[in-house]
Amino acid sequence: MGDIGAERRRVASEPVEDALALPDPNVEPTGPPGHPDGSPARRQQDLPPSKTTEGGTVDPGLGSRAMTTPAYAKGFDDTIGLQISSATPDEVRATLTVTPDLLQPYGLLHGGVLCTIVESIGSVAGAVWYGDRGRVVGTSNHTNFLRSVTEGTLTGVATPIHRGRTQQLWSIDIRDEQERLIAKGELRVANLPHREEPTS
């Protein structure tokens, strides 16, 4: 096995613009069945248009202008179909359509999907608020499952509980199309400011 620590440091140091580069649209995508284009990586023409909200404009395909997770646009969220619909420093919204691939053996939506929604939109929210000061990393995810789901579209909304110098705490509500509360979570993230480059 290679040096995992070295690989993580390499990925973390990649410029955001390079890390978020999308695949060549002229190459036929391949990937797991059930994805709209057969690929876990969305092509540029497949991304939804930027949306303007009260807090500003955000490209939902990239999550946010401040999101520094490498290859965010072609990561796990895209694999399960989670779509960021709007993001401001005070609120992030996302939707997910329940598919058979996301169900557990009893035919219910897997709890890990709900945890993922909490983790993902809470992280995007923290990153948008923290902005150019650095990046954020999740340190605690507490998700309560309140109602089972077998189909339909879910909407997750992240709002702040606390935003401080070193950490943030976000509340995430996940509701179905009838506005019933399916799950409620809290995500705590640590704020990691950019390090000063040593001068020679």
pLDDT digits (tens, 9 = 90+) for 23-63: 444 545 444 444 344 433 333 333 334 343 343 434 444 43
Q: Is 36 exposed, middle or buried (0-12, 13-18, 19+ CB in 10 A)?
A: exposed
Residue 177 in this model has a pLDDT that exceeds 50: yes
Catalytic residues: 119
Mean pLDDT of 18-22: 34
pLDDT at position 196: 77
Number of residues in the chain: 200
Mean pLDDT of 123-150: 97
Residue 137 — left, alpha, or beta (φ > 0 → left; ψ -120 to 50 → alpha)? beta
Lowest mean pLDDT of 28-32, 88-92, 100-104, 171-175, name the range: 28-32
Owner of token pair 């997770």:
69
CATH number at residue 167: 3.10.129.10
pLDDT grade for 195, boundaries at 50, 70 and 90: confident
Q: Is 3 exposed, middle or buried (0-12, 13-18, 19+ CB in 10 A)?
A: exposed
Residue 113 in this model has a pLDDT that exceeds 80: yes
Question: Pairing between strand 91-97 and 83-88?
Answer: antiparallel
pLDDT at position 44: 33
The answer as to whether 126 is a domain residue is yes
The answer as to whether 44 is a domain residue is yes
Secondary structure class of 113 (helix, strand, coil)? helix
Enclosing domain of residue 133: 4-193
pLDDT at position 34: 41
The answer as to whether 62 is a domain residue is yes
Distance of CA 6 to the CA centre of its chain: 24
The answer as to whether 200 is a domain residue is no
The answer as to whether 50 is a domain residue is yes
Distant-in-sequence, close-in-space partners of 169: CB < 8 Å, separation ≥ 6: 160, 161, 162, 163, 186, 187, 188
The answer as to whether 33 is a domain residue is yes
CA-CA distance, 38 to 28, in Å (whole number)?
Answer: 9
pLDDT at position 73: 52
| pTM metric for this prediction | 0.65
How many structural domains comprise the chain? Answer: 1
pLDDT at position 137: 96
Mean pLDDT of 92-104: 97
pLDDT at position 6: 55
pLDDT grade for 75, boundaries at 50, 70 and 90: confident
